[in-house]
A and B are shown apart, each in its own frame.
Chain A
Amino acid sequence: MNRKQRKNLFRIIAAAILMTALHFVEVEGAARFCLYMVPYLIVGYDILLKAAQGIKNLRALDENFLMTVATLGAIILAVYSGSGDYTEAVAVMLFYQIGEWFQSYAIGKSRQNISDLMDIRPDYANVENLGKLEQIDPSEVEIGTEIIIQAGEKIPIDGVIVEGNSTLNTSALTGESLPRNVNVGDEVISGCININGVLKVRTTKLFEDSTASKILDLVENASSRKSKSENFITKFARIYTPAVVGAAVALFIIPSIVTGDFSTWLYRALIFLVISCPCALVISIPLTFFAGLGGASRAGILIKGSNFLETLSKVRTVVMDKTGTLTRGIFEVDAVHPISTNCISENPTEARQLLHYSAHVEKYSTHPIATSLKKAYPAENDGCTVENVEELAGLGIRAEVNGNVIHVGNEKLMEKIGAAWKPCSRVGTIIHVALNGNYAGHIIVADKLKPHAKKAVEKLYASGVNRIVMLTGDIKKVAEKIAGDLGIKEFYSELLPAQKVEHLEKILAEKSFAVAFVGDGINDAPVLARADIGIAMGAMGADAAIEAADVVLMDDDPLKIYKAIDIAKKTLSIVKENIYFAVGIKLLCLILGAAGVANMWFAIFADVGVMVIAVLNALRALSN
């Protein structure tokens, strides 16, 4: 609660007590009028002043003016009719202020909640200066500076660990609660919390280009990209208030002239004025989107704007890249098949020998497949000699290991050297090995599915996505297997990046609902941009992906695709509820008010009650 809120709360309570007390005081005439004016002025003096200023600035029809006219009207009516019932006027003002207070409190609260969620803004960086640690403003740290991060501190700037190892809590960035182990040489990202151990990090970026700053910027600006629903409400509010005020004037003038009953119709017109305030709508719709965006970022899903949240909720077709999205994008040795006397040998020593040779041959290669071979045979420095390494473009590698000539490569290489290679029934990239010109066997290297890939596909289908398409540059056989394993019915393989765009365009042309494309953002930028909504995953630290996509999944869990769509749907359903509920209740009260069924208390509910309920409903979007 800030100072202003405290002051207003005090005014509200004071006025409420006075009003209740006056209920038991029996006075008549001018004294009664004066007594009731005390709570009225306590709670409403600022509204009256603002209304006067509004008139001076030729800006009538704002809510202060409406409330002033409505309450003053009710007071005049009470004096004129001699009823002395000033309670309604005081109550309208009182409840209007309660509504305003609640709105201000609820929004302040949710602002606070959301900024707590995104509490990744680092306040300082520790820099060693003459053997002493000094805390400095992170924006003053230059690239290449060594900074110290102690246990419990936030990493302020992206960089590489030069000393120490630790466990990092990445949950503020990724929504992932499992801590991550880091060692010397690992890249670390700002916004993560160092759980234990002291780290010395050499910065690779400036503070403002670091992940934490980029993400904060993105989240803070997200609600500035307004959705269609928000624009609709803004337009609606612009027409609604003048229309209701116009109706109030008409309701007062025409029937009073016809029937001559001046006070009844004035009263009904005043009810209209109270209902004419568009607050419930104007506040609850952006608040819902804001809460939805906040809830999503807590789950490690960054959505770049309310408009994208809206599109995301309408997604019925999901197009996915394979490598890096559904599969891990890291090759691993799947099987080793040494061939002796023309059939696959089950002998583990022979399998080990085959791996041994190929790992040595690939020793100096940085190709992903070479990396996978080396990883499968880690005992690389075993004293063997590797000489005369020769890369054969498009074929493979030739080298001498301990004096033996080893060829490692594809079928074409085997044919070239005249080795009798054997095909393999397994799916994956097949690497053939020849020892001194004789075929020695093959190693199957394959990309592994991500752990949640299958569940993600199932969840997407269950949530109303009716078409999932996989696009990949990989060969048909591999694509077929992955699609089969995951239960994806439609896939296109052996595509160049440009062909991926073509395929996506075909899908876009066929569909009336929104089409999402999910990729790892590395070479998918054109496709990400072309889709109705581009989702980049595993983007922690990848600037290009953060730039190109509309939705960024901070970790690389494909289940988050489903989660993002789910959050969007929930948010949009709350938006719809609020629009129908607020407009519905207001229209109903207008009709009942015109008919004389609803009194001023109905009008207060239609104004303040609806607003409070809509705000509370909006805050549901934050939790998921």
Chain B
Amino acid sequence: MKKNYKIEVDCANCANLMEEATKKTQGVKNAVVNFMTLKMQVEFEDGADAKEVMPRVLETCRKIEPDCEIYF
């Protein structure tokens, strides 16, 4: 299952780091952060609940870039 989220982040490198952090989050199979369009595509693992996974994704991302925001 793939889902798109709107994000807010200021720097390109932080976006790359967010992508890496999201990929490592439990329940996430793959993630692509697009800094240019400020979008994040998250592919969830089978059986994972997006509503349950996304807060954890945001938490890990905030550790990297306290300013970032994910709208879910």
Where the two chains meet, the residues of A that have a C-beta atom closer than 8 Å to any C-beta of B are 50, 53, 57, 59, 62-63, 100, 103-104, 107, 111, 220-221, 223-224, 226, 234, 237, 278-279, 282-283, 286-287, 290
B32 contacts the other chain (CB 8 A): yes
Beyond the given A221-B34, A226-B32, A279-B12, please list 18 additional residue pairs across the A-B interface where CB-CB is below 8 A: A57-B64, A59-B64, A62-B14, A62-B17, A63-B11, A100-B11, A103-B12, A107-B35, A111-B37, A224-B37, A234-B16, A278-B13, A279-B13, A282-B13, A283-B13, A286-B12, A287-B36, A290-B36
Known: A62-B64, A220-B39, A224-B41. Is A237-B34 also a contact (CB below 8 A)?
A: no
Judge if B10 is at the interface, Cβ distance under 8 Å.
yes
Residue positions of B touching A, CB distance < 8 A: 10-14, 16-17, 32, 34-39, 41, 63-64, 66-67
Q: Given the complex of chains A and B, what is the CA–CA distance between A571 and B34 in angstroms?
A: 18
User: In whole angstroms, how far apart are the Cα atoms of A283 and B36 in the complex?
Assistant: 9
In contact, B63 and A57 (Cβ under 8 angstroms): yes
With A223-B36, A224-B39, A290-B36 in contact, do A103 and B63 touch (Cβ < 8 Å)? no
User: Contact at B11–A59, with CB atoms within 8 Å?
Assistant: no
Q: Which of chain A's residues have a CB closer than 8 A to the CB of B11?
A: 63, 100, 103, 279, 282-283
Contact check, B39 vs A237: say whether CB atoms are below 8 A apart: no
Question: Would you give the shortest CB distance from B43 to chain A, in whole angstroms?
Answer: 12
In the complex, 11 of the A-B residue pairs with CB atoms within 8 angstroms, ordered by the A residue number, are A50-B66, A53-B66, A62-B64, A100-B11, A223-B34, A226-B32, A279-B11, A282-B16, A283-B35, A287-B12, A290-B36
Q: Least Cβ distance of A121 to chain B in Å?
A: 14
A104, B12: Cα distance in complex, Å: 10
Q: A57-B63, A59-B63, A59-B64 are in contact. Are A282 and B12 (CB under 8 A)?
A: yes
Beta-carbon nearest neighbor of B14 in chain A: A62
A53 and B68 CA atoms in complex are apart in Å by 14
Residues of A within 8 A of B17 (CB): 62
Which residues of B are found within 8 Å of A107, using beta-carbon distances?
35-36
For A57, list chain B residues within 8 Å (CB): 63-64
A94 to B32, CA, bound (A): 32
Contacts of B38 in A (CB 8 A): 111
Please report the C-alpha to C-alpha distance between residue A103 and residue B11 in the assembled complex, in whole angstroms. Answer: 8
Q: How distant is the Cα of A278 from the Cα of B11 in the complex, in angstroms? A: 11
**What residues on B are CB-neighbors of A290 within 8 Å?**
36-37
In the assembly, what is the distance between CA of A224 and CA of B16, in Å? 12
- Complex interface: chain B residues within 8 A of A287 (CB): 12, 36
User: Distance in Å from the Cβ of B36 to the closest Cβ of chain A?
Assistant: 4
A100 with B63: CB separation less than 8 A: no
Residues in B whose Cβ lies below 8 Å from that of A283: 11-13, 35
**Secondary structure of the A contact surface, majority rule:** helix
When A and B form their complex, which 10 residue pairs have the shortest distance between CB atoms, in order from nearest?
A283-B12, A290-B36, A57-B63, A282-B13, A282-B12, A224-B34, A224-B32, A223-B36, A53-B66, A234-B16
How many angstroms between the C-alpha atoms of A224 and B41 in the bound complex?
9
Q: Would B39 and A63 count as touching, CB distance under 8 A? A: no
- Output the least CB separation between B31 and chain A (Å): 10
Instruction: Give chain B residues whose Cβ lies under 8 Å from the Cβ of A62.
Output: 14, 17, 64
Question: Is A100 a contact partner of B10 (Cβ separation < 8 A)?
Answer: yes
Bound together, the chains give a CA A221 to CA B34 distance in angstroms of 8
Q: How far is the CA of A342 from the CA of B41 in the complex (A)?
A: 73
* Known A53-B66, A234-B16: A104·B39 in contact at CB below 8 Å: no
Closest Cβ–Cβ distance, residue B50 to chain A (whole Å): 18
With A and B bound together, what is the CA distance between A484 and B5 in angstroms?
53
Which chain A residue has the least Cβ–Cβ distance from B13? A282
Residue of B13, B35, B36, B63 with most chain A CB atoms under a 10 A cut-off: B36
Contact partner of B13 (CB less than 8 A), chosen from A63, A220, A224, is A63
Nearest to B33 among chain A residues (CB) is A224
Instruction: Give the Cβ gap from B13 to chain A, nearest Cβ, in Å.
Output: 4
**Contacts of A100 on B, CB cut-off 8 Å?**
10-11
CA distance A220 to B34 in the complex (A): 9
| Distance to closest chain B CB from A130 (angstroms) | 38
Complex-state Cα separation, A111 to B63, whole angstroms: 27
What residues of chain B lie closer than 8 Å to A111, measured between beta carbons?
36-38
Q: Within the complex, what minimum Cβ distance (angstroms) separates B32 from chain A? A: 5
* Complex contact A286–B64 (CB within 8 A): no
Bound-state CA distance A486–B39 (Å) is 45
Bound: A287/B34 CA distance, A? 11
Chain A residues within 8 Å of B39, by CB: 220, 224
Chain B residues lying within 8 Å of A234, measured Cβ to Cβ, are 16
Inter-chain contact B37/A220, CB cutoff 8 Å: yes
CA distance A290 to B38 in the complex (A): 12
> How close is A102's CB to chain B, nearest CB, in angstroms?
12
CB distance from B14 to the nearest CB of A (A): 8
A104 touches B63 (CB 8 A): no
Which residues of chain B come closer than 8 Å to A282, judged between CB atoms?
A: 11-13, 16
Q: How far apart are the CA atoms of A290 and B39 in the complex, in Å?
A: 13
Residues of A within 8 A of B12 (CB): 103, 279, 282-283, 286-287
- Expressed in whole angstroms, the Cα–Cα distance for A130 and B19 within the complex equals 51
Indicate if the CB atoms of A286 and B36 lie closer than 8 Å.
yes
CA distance A105 to B41 in the complex (A): 24
By beta carbon, the residue of chain B nearest A57 is B63
CB distance from A201 to the nearest CB of B (A): 29
Closest Cβ–Cβ distance, residue B28 to chain A (whole Å): 16
A223 closest partner in B (C-beta): B36
- A49 and chain B: residue at smallest CB distance: B66
> Contact: B10 with A237, CB < 8 Å?
no
CB distance from B48 to the nearest CB of A (A): 21
Chain A residue, CB-CB nearest to B21: A59
A104 and B13: CB pair below 8 A?
A: no
Question: Nearest residue in A to B40 (C-beta to C-beta)?
Answer: A224
A237 CA to B12 CA, complexed, in Å: 11
CA distance A226 to B41 in the complex (A): 13
CB closest chain-B residue, reference A103: B11
CA distance A286 to B15 in the complex (A): 11
Residue of B nearest to A283 (CB): B12
Q: Which of A57, A62, A221, A224 has the most CB of B within 10 A?
A: A224
Tell me the minimal C-beta distance from A118 to chain B in angstroms. Answer: 11
In the assembled complex, which residues on chain B have CB atoms less than 8 Å from the CB atom of A221?
34, 41
